[in-house]
């Protein structure tokens, strides 16, 4: 469909939340997202403490990129091959591995024995299931409702993750990192995956499920070749994520440099984003009747404007306001994009395509971070963010040309 279809059978947010097993899965996602939000502010602070002689921008970029590398390899393998692993199993493995990894890394940091390369290696190995697991959360949740509930469930996943990862989590991470240490924040993050593990075991039955290692008739790539709009949207999302990455590397340095802020200030700025994302996510359902292509194109252009405001902010309070606007603008993007892709696919096609599509989109993170480190070191934090905004603005004509032709 070119535009979202609203009808009486569509699920509301409230109906999805009242569903017991689905509600439990969403609650587990919310709690683990709080932990992920904590390390948004804690990891850069920890990196600056243990970086040694490595330049600050490069060290932050290296640490931020490491969780995506092996995770992208696994997700791309699942998407490009005919191999299938049950989403429930992926989510369980990810919860156990990430819980153990972050608790271990946090303990080493607290005892003063953690080095930069130990942190990079731990994040590299401990996040191997991360991308496939994130796709599994979405597939399991939307699979409980069918097509009628996809827009509502994707909206709830986006809203809950935004408020947890960008509003509650960064503030909590900044407070814990400042009051105790960044290592303690990593330990708390590890503990937040325990409720996620319990939720998936309770909410999703182990049977009937495909056998591990089952080969499917088609790979995600072959399916996506038959659905050109999904491929075009993939290119747009990849570029959008790629051009965002300098912001993530530059923001901690901008706060400590030109804005003269602390770890708590960094958490406060991310919380501004989260508060905006909460309002934007709650309003996503209001956009269900608007052409999805038009919404996605508008979000890309408006996000670039918000990044410019953030880069030019003269003080922390202005940066909080700019990132609040950014969160408000960006929040509907992911749920609408995923719903748009899922509307083109049959249930059997969704796991390989969504996993491949998400992996390719997330692959922009390590690539973008690898490029962002030298960019920030050479141009400075503020100029790097301005360059990010200008590149995003340049993406608008490409997105408009690609998505306006999309007719699933």
Is residue 3 domain-resident? no
Give the closest residue to 233 by CA, choosing from 329, 360, 349, 139: 360
- Do 54 and 100 contact (CB within 8 A), yes or no? no
Is residue 5 domain-resident? no
* Upper half-sphere CA count for residue 320 (Cβ side, 13 Å): 16
- Do 176 and 40 contact (CB within 8 A), yes or no? no
Is residue 4 domain-resident? no
- Do 144 and 24 contact (CB within 8 A), yes or no? no
Q: Give the pLDDT of residue 216.
A: 52
Cis peptide preceding 208, ω within 30 of 0: yes
Tens-of-pLDDT digits for all 408 residues of the chain? 333 334 446 677 677 777 778 888 888 888 888 888 888 888 888 998 898 888 887 888 889 888 888 888 888 787 777 777 788 888 999 999 999 999 999 999 999 999 999 999 999 999 998 888 887 888 888 877 777 777 778 778 877 777 777 677 877 888 888 888 899 999 999 999 999 999 888 877 765 444 444 445 567 777 777 777 777 888 888 889 889 988 988 888 888 888 877 767 887 887 788 788 888 877 877 777 777 788 888 999 999 999 999 999 888 889 999 999 998 998 888 888 888 887 777 777 777 777 777 777 777 777 887 788 788 888 888 899 999 999 999 999 888 877 765 544
Is residue 1 domain-resident? no
Give the closest residue to 234 by CA, choosing from 355, 137, 115: 355
Q: Tell me the C-alpha distance between 304 and 338, whole Å.
A: 21
Is residue 8 domain-resident? no
Is residue 234 domain-resident? yes
Q: Tell me the C-alpha distance between 19 and 11, whole Å.
A: 11
- Do 172 and 38 contact (CB within 8 A), yes or no? yes
Which residues touch 302 (CB under 8 Å, ≥6 apart)? 329
Q: Give the pLDDT of residue 408.
A: 44
The range of the structural domain enclosing residue 288 comes to: 13-403
Q: Give the pLDDT of residue 98.
A: 93
Domain count, the chain: 1
Give the closest residue to 358 by CA, choosing from 136, 87, 164: 136
Is residue 6 domain-resident? no
Give the closest residue to 359 by CA, choosing from 200, 133, 98: 133
Could you tell me the CATH number of the domain that includes residue 21?
Answer: 1.20.1250.20
Query: How long, in residues, is the chain?
Result: 408
Which residues touch 78 (CB under 8 Å, ≥6 apart)? 84, 85, 132, 220, 351, 352, 355, 356, 359
Q: Which two tokens stand for residue 167?
A: 């509003």
C-alpha dihedral sign at 298, 367, 250, 182? positive
Q: Give the pLDDT of residue 405.
A: 53
Q: Tell me the C-alpha distance between 17 and 11, whole Å.
A: 10
Q: Is the pTM of this model over 0.75?
A: no
Q: Give the pLDDT of residue 9.
A: 61
Q: Tell me the C-alpha distance between 389 and 59, whole Å.
A: 23
- Do 170 and 266 contact (CB within 8 A), yes or no? yes
Is residue 121 domain-resident? yes
Q: Which two tokens stand for residue 248?
A: 């993530």
Q: Tell me the C-alpha distance between 332 and 281, whole Å.
A: 6
């Amino acid at each position: 469909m070119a535009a979202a279809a609203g009808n009486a059978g569509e699920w509301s947010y409230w109906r999805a939340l009242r569903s017991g097993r689905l509600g439990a899965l969403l609650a587990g996602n919310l709690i683990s997202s709080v932990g992920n939000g904590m390390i948004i502010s804690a990891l850069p602070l920890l990196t600056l403490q243990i970086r040694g002689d490595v330049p600050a921008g490069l060290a932050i970029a290296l640490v931020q990129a490491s969780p995506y590398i092996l995770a992208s390899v696994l997700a791309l393998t699942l998407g490009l091959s005919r191999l299938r692993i049950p989403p429930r199993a992926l989510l369980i493995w990810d919860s156990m591995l990430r819980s153990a990894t972050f608790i271990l890394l946090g303990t080493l940091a607290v005892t003063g024995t953690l080095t930069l390369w130990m942190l990079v290696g731990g994040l590299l190995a401990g996040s191997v299931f991360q991308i496939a697991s994130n796709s599994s959360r979405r597939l399991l949740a939307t699979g409980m409702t069918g097509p009628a509930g996809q827009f509502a469930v994707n909206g709830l996943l986006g809203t809950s993750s935004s408020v947890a990862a960008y509003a509650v989590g960064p503030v909590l991470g900044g407070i814990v990192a400042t009051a105790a240490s960044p290592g303690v924040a990593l330990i708390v993050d590890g503990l937040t995956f325990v409720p996620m593990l319990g939720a998936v075991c309770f909410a999703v039955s182990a049977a009937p499920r495909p056998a591990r290692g089952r080969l499917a008739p088609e790979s995600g790539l072959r399916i996506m070749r038959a659905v050109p709009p999904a491929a075009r949207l993939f290119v747009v999302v990849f570029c959008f994520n790629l051009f965002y990455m300098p912001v993530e590397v530059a923001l901690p340095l901008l706060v400590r440099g030109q804005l003269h802020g602390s770890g708590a200030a960094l958490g406060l700025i991310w919380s501004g984003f989260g508060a905006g994302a909460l309002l934007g996510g709650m309003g996503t359902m209001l956009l269900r009747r608007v052409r999805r292509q038009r919404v996605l194109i508008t979000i890309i252009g408006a996000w670039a404007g918000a990044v410019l405001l953030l880069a030019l902010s003269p003080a922390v309070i202005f940066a909080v306001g700019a990132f609040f606007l950014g969160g408000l603008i960006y929040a509907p993007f992911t749920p609408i994009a995923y719903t748009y892709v899922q509307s083109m696919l049959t249930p059997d096609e969704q796991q390989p395509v969504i996993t491949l599509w998400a992996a390719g989109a997330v692959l922009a993170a390590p690539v973008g971070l690898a490029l962002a480190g030298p960019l920030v070191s050479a141009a400075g934090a503020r100029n790097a963010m301005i360059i990010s905004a200008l590149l995003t603005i340049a993406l608008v004509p490409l997105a408009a040309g690609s998505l306006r032709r999309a007719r699933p």
